[in-house]
Structure 1
Amino acid sequence: MTWHLPLVPAGEPGAELTAGQDGATIRRSVLPGGVRVLSEHMPGLRSATVGAWVGVGSRDETDGHHGSTHFLEHLLFKGTRRRTAMDIAEAFDAVGGEANAATGKEHTCYYARVLDSDLPMAVDVIADMVTSARLDATELETERGVILEELAMTDDDPADVVHEEFAAAVLGTHPLGRPIGGTPETIKAVPRDAVWEHYRWHYRPETLVVAAAGGVDHDALVEQVTGALRAGGWDLSGAVVPRERRPEVVADDEAAAIPAEGVELTVRRQVEQANVIVGSTGLSVTDERRFTLSVLSAALGGGMSSRLFQEIRERRGLAYSTYSFASGHGGVGTFGLYAGCAPAKVDVVTELLHAELDRLADGGITDAELERSVGQLQGGLVLGLEDSGSRMSRLGKAELVFGELLSLAESLERIRAVTVEDVRELAAELAARPRSVVRVGPFGD
């Protein structure tokens, strides 16, 4: 991992100590077995957020295991060898804490926010869940019904549907094109043995990153994590190295799964509003041009002064919500323009989405738009790091996703370095890629 913050001697093997922003201190240690522990001590904060990041997501599921990653997110809260599901719930409720989990396409995170004095408890409970989940067959069947209801809720929201169908349209049969939560068919079909195999294969020391921010003492955190993982039966005596980050270029077989041409797709739902996305493949999560893409997206559809908002909502009154978005992953990403409108206006709105992307590609943005977009991104970045949860996520993603930890100053510098020409060149490249259109709404034949 590359550390861009100034290094300070750590005083112990396998650890790095860095100076963070606002008087915060960031440290990183690699434990025997490959577990990585990162912390950011934020002076004066009486709370802390800790997360156990596992380098596995829906992208990693193989045939017969589809849906297992999301299943595990639920099942790890349903009991371990030492705790029942009620024990886990009571542990956090008794101290006014919050605990939750999130599944992504490339990683899963189990996290909790508690008072700093309760951090040892949070570490112990989350480590217990990660190492010692029982995956009880009865609980699995109960949770199968819960997950099916969750998927049904998602399917009832046309905005969720259009985004999932857009990813599938752009990425085709690539593993990233699958929905994170699985489908009703895969959730109904996956057996307990497959979920157990998925758990035992992916939940291992070399895939685990523990990140904490707030009122955190790094040395104490390392000791707590080590003790909790050993109590869960993990062997931390070996010299196993952490699992490497995902390749920055997709493999040939994965690349072949991505459609070479744009896809036109209409999904019929009896709803009051049509939802439409126009877009294509984007940039990988580690592409150096990701800062340029952020500026491009801010100017095109990132706020009330953006081109999409001004043209589609303010001038024409065709939509309440319209924006652009980008999602980056290992080796590939997506980029799209969204709008929700009256079904009768969907063709006009779709044409405007195309037109605004083409206009940006042809003429670029103005100096005023660049300045406004850079200011918007800088403010959002700084404000987004005002709480321990966001800083914990920053550490986890730096280790698992980016492979580098940029200081706030360096991140701001990279945003400010984007030029008008950078934006125009990237817009032209994106506009030239095969473009897909996905609509969800009450359309006839």
Structure 2
Amino acid sequence: MIRKTVLPNGLKILTEKTPYLRGAVAHLRFGVGSGHESHKFEGIAHVLEHMVFKGTEALDQVAFGNEIARLGCSTNASTGFESTTYELDGPAETVLQGLDVFASVIAGFHVPAEEFDKEKDVIQEEWKMIQDDPSAWGEDLAYHALLGEFAHPTIGTPESIDLLTRRHVVEFAQQHYTPDNLIVGVVGNVEHEQVVEVIAKHFGTIARRRAALPDLSLSQIDRLHRAEDCEQEQVFLGFRAPEVTRRDLPAFDVAMTILGGDSWSRLFQRLRNELGLVYQVDGSYSGWPHVGTYMIYAGCQPSETDRVIAEISSEICKLKAEITPDELFRSKAMLKSSLLMSSDQLGNKVHKLIDDELLFATYRPYEQDLAELEAVSVEEALRLAHEVLDLEKMTAVTVGPYQPKFS
């Protein structure tokens, strides 16, 4: 049920037909994100994402929104470090019409000067909103500290946003919003040929080739504290982890689920249930083709910051010393459950469809992912825990009134 077409200009179109589902989802993903920006133009990829929704000369933003709503569809977009994705979802019977409208806007968006200035003001307000949430901008700081300029905050800074002009954004789009830098995925009860027809109508005659992307700049700092007058101390402990294409990534997932994956994980049981030091503590993996991260987060009373960091470090050392067969079994069961549940969700299905094409040049059935998880041994999980969880190479970022005393 999965089909692929590559247009002569390099644009890739992937579809998975799901006749048993009534909804449909389309993603249009460009291979450029904030990690490819120069320091001077931080935030430009995110600004461009906003500007696309201003519509075309023939279909302004109000008419565009109304037309999408008449079809019962909705649109959204997100900017990451390596990509920018435009999303459309709706009923299967109208999603192709919605895709026709959305693709026309993405291919031919038009930004009047006055709309550009207003939207920059909106983005400045978005920046202020993030600053009101120390856990949100603390996370931005943590990834920036762990990965360097590749992971600078996607939104940019007030200063860099102010410096951006309409011409800068249009030139960025001309360089990177090209057919050979675009992959389209659609999952739903739709015909592949009809999806190809719609996309080719708007992008098929564009001959521009993508500009060369700069080298991704990675660096790391060990410690960072930002003083903030808030009730809780936000603690982020980060490690460089396997890139997303590593064949032994399932073993890492198994080990990290044991450490910080759920309410039964070691960190949750020790810091929340046994010691009552935190309300929330967990760990999460993020991966790209050239690097991965594992980030542990905890929020605590400022006076308990040193103890929380010490307890997390202690649990890391214990994990590297032993993983029990029962923990291995539970971790696999949770990860397999997550895979199976995600396989029923249209958004996850189209995300996987595009990811597999970009990372492996082929679709990986869920059964393959499940089999690789099942094959993980205690020894493999321990090996990955030792490789990644090196306390000497840990990045620690704290936001709050207390500055930790690291030994």
Using the size of structure 2 for normalisation, the TM-score is: 0.94
Q: Say if 2:407 is the partner of 1:435.
A: no
Runs of 4+ in 1 over 6 A off after TM superposition: none
Q: Distance in 2 between matches of 1:165 and 1:312?
A: 24
Contact 1:364/1:427 (<8 A) preserved: no
1:258 partnered with 2:219: yes
Structure 1 match to 2:167: 193
User: Residue 289 of structure 1: CA displacement?
Assistant: 2.2
Alignment partner for residue 377 of structure 1, among 335, 338, 350? 335
Contact 2:71-2:98 at 8 Å conserved across structures = no
Q: Residue in 1 aligned with 2:67?
A: 91
Identical residues among aligned pairs (%): 32
Query: Per-residue displacement from partner, 1:274-322 (whole Å, max 9, x unpaired)?
Result: 1101222112121222212211121100011100000000000111110
Q: Per the alignment, in what secondary structure is the counterpart of residue 94 of structure 2?
A: helix
Letter in 2 for 1:384: S
SS of 1:37 mapped into structure 2? strand
Query: Relative to structure 1, is the Cα distance of residues 305 and 156 closer, same or farther in structure 2, using a 3 angstrom cutoff?
Result: same
CA distance in 2, matches of 1:63, 1:135: 24
Match of 1:397?
A: 355
* RMSD, aligned α-carbons: 2.1
1:338-377 correspondence runs (5 A): 338-361=297-320, 363-377=321-335
Q: How does 1:115-154 map to 2 (within 5 A)?
A: 115-154=91-130
- AA at the equivalent of 1:163: E
Count matched residues.
403
- AA of the residue aligned to 2:283: S
CA distance in 1, matches of 2:371, 2:244: 19
Cα distance in 2 between the residues matched to 1:263 and 1:291: 27
Q: Secondary structure at the match of 1:153?
A: helix
1:273 aligns with 2:225: no
* Matched residue, 2:206: 234
Contact 2:127/2:158 (CA < 8 Å) preserved in 1?
Answer: yes
- Could you tell me how far apart the structure 1 residues matched to 2:327 and 2:142 are? 28
Q: 1:386, CA displacement in angstroms?
A: 1.3
**Partner deviation per Cα, 1:71-92 (whole Å, 9 max, x = no partner):** 0111100121331001111112
Between the aligned partners of 2:138 and 2:399, the Cα distance in structure 1 is: 6
Alpha-carbon contact 1:65-1:195 (below 8 Å) kept: no
Match 1:386 to one of 339, 344, 358: 344
Query: Does 2:178 match 1:204?
Result: yes
Query: Are 2:278 and 1:304 aligned?
Result: no
Deviation track 1:190-222 (CA, whole Å, cap 9, x = no partner) reads 222111111100000101111000111111111
Look up the equivalent residue of 2:370 and give its one-letter code.
L
TM-score (norm 1): 0.86
One-letter amino acid matched to 2:248: R
Shift of 1:150: 1.1
- 2:22 aligned with 1:46: yes
Aligned pairs for 1:291-330 (under 5 A) are 291-330=250-289
C-alpha contact 1:292 1:418 (8 A) present in aligned 2 = yes
> Contact 1:207 / 1:243 at 8 angstroms: preserved in 2?
no
Name 1:283's counterpart in structure 2: 242
Is residue 213 from structure 1 mapped to residue 184 from structure 2 by the alignment? no
State the Cα deviation string for residues 87-124 of structure 1 (Å, max 9, x = none).
11111211222111111111111111111221222221
Task: Tell whether the 8 Å contact from 1:278 to 1:353 is kept in structure 2 after alignment.
Answer: no
Question: How far apart are residue 49 of structure 1 and its match?
Answer: 0.7
| Residue of structure 2 in register with 1:179 after alignment | 153
How far apart are the structure 1 equivalents of 2:141 and 2:403?
19
Cα-to-partner distance string for 1:202-259 (whole Å, 9 max, x where unaligned): 00010111100011111111112111325xx6249xxx8x999x9xxx96x83xx423
Give 1:417's aligned residue. 375
Distance 2:80 2:389 in 1: 27
Moved more, 372-381 or 385-394: 385-394
In structure 2, what is the Cα distance between the partners aligned to 1:217 and 1:282?
39
- 1:161 maps to 137
Deviates more, 1:377-386 or 1:328-337: 328-337
Residue identity in the other structure for 2:243: S
Residues 444, 358 of structure 1: CA spacing in aligned structure 2 closer, same or farther, 3 A cutoff?
Answer: closer
**Cα deviation 1:107-142 (Å, max 9, x = unaligned):** 111111111221222221221122111122211111
Equivalent position SS for 2:331:
helix
State how far apart, in whole Å, the 1-side matches of 2:295 and 2:198 are: 43
For 2:328 and 2:403, the matched residues in 1 are separated by 42
Check 1:81–1:401 CA distance in 2 against 1; reply closer, same or farther (3 A cut).
Answer: farther
Which stretch of the first structure deviates more once superposed, 76-85 or 118-127? 118-127
